[in-house]
Amino acid sequence: MVTRLYSHPIYLEHLTPAGHPERPDRLRVIERVLEDEKFAYLDRVEAPEGDPQTILYAHPQSFVDKVRAAIPAEGLERIEADTCVSPKSWLATLTAIGAANAAVDDVFSGAADNVFVASRPPGHHAEKATAMGFCLFNHAAIAARHAQKAHGAERVAIVDWDVHHGNGTQDIFWDDPSVLYCSTHQMPLYPGTGAANETGAGNIVNAPLAPQTGSDVFREALRSRVLPAIENFAPDLIIISAGFDAHHRDPLAQINLVEDDFDWATGQLMESASRDCGGRLVSLLEGGYDLHGLAFSVAAHVSRMMRG
């Protein structure tokens, strides 16, 4: 079992204001926890810079131009209330896209069995033409389209267990039955979307979780809603929007998961991938804002990917 890790120092140079939850320290703690000897066989590869043209798989050119024009020569620029950019933010998000697309290439070529991309900024709140929620472009959506365009994938499943609903991914694939989008998330919570009756073209499966619930409710949502949807869909690839902010320590939500829940959920999706799509599984980092909870949840996730 070959598990590949993509990261890059440029991700640390996407800067946010002091006190902002989406900060470079998130990747530093991930790097440290993955230095443990049990990750000695993790295949570590520096993320490549992405092709800007692939952004157009999910976003219009006018929006791409707007984001690029907002990148400041120095200091910080606020795109919207929660989302800031700094001089290296364009290269950081382009390299996040490059890593996501390279991960797709790897699992289709057999270079890796599965891949975890430790990048920032995150992506799942980015709608077709709106940057929001710390996100500039939607890396999972671009990677799904890349799988279809470059590798002939007919069906791609995106499973989003970030505690915040991935409104951007839902927006992009709302009327596209070739992509299944399944999300577990706290509701009510930012961004306010993700009700169970939001079903798109029958390809959207939302499983909202009430505040102060935990492992049992989360696992039941996967068992009863998400995993059957994947089995019925029979995807050629599974992409995880892997946010770890449903951890009980996280300051931005009130779902009480522990590291073992992410281990279990990873194992369930690996079983789905093994059954439906030759094991092809790509995981992209989204949220997770308590540094301890994030680090050890990622460790559980990646360890499970490596165990096969």
Looking at residue 1, its pLDDT comes to 86
Q: Contact at 8 Å (CB) between 163 and 253?
A: yes
pLDDT, one tens digit per residue, over 87-100 is 999 999 999 999 99
CATH number of this structure's domain 3-307: 3.40.800.20
Region 65-69 average pLDDT: 97
Q: How confident is the model at residue 7 (pLDDT cuts 50, 70, 90)?
A: very high
| 8 catalytic per annotation | no
| Angle in degrees, CA 163, 19, 59, rounded to 5 | 55
Question: Residue 265's pLDDT is what?
Answer: 98
pLDDT of res. 98: 98
Q: Which residue in the block uniquely carries the two structure tokens 């030759």?
A: 278
Cα separation, 46 vs 68, in Å, equals 24
Structure confidence by residue, pLDDT tens digits, 147-205: 999 999 999 999 999 999 999 999 999 999 999 999 999 999 999 999 999 999 999 99
Q: What is the mean pLDDT of residues 215-242?
A: 98
Q: Where are the domains of the chain?
A: 3-307
pLDDT mean over 8-30: 98
Q: Residue 308 pLDDT more than 90? A: no
pLDDT of the residue at 146: 98
Displacement of CA 147 from its chain's centroid (Å): 16
Instruction: Check: CB of residue 219 under 8 Å from CB of residue 257.
Output: no
Choose, from 8, 14, 124, 125, the residue flagged as catalytic: 125
Distance CA 278, CA 248 (A): 33
Query: Is-contact 220 264, C-beta < 8 A?
Result: no
Residue 265: closest CA among 299, 215, 229? 215
The helix (run of H) or strand (run of E) holding residue 7 is: strand 3-7
The whole-chain average pLDDT of the chain stands at 98
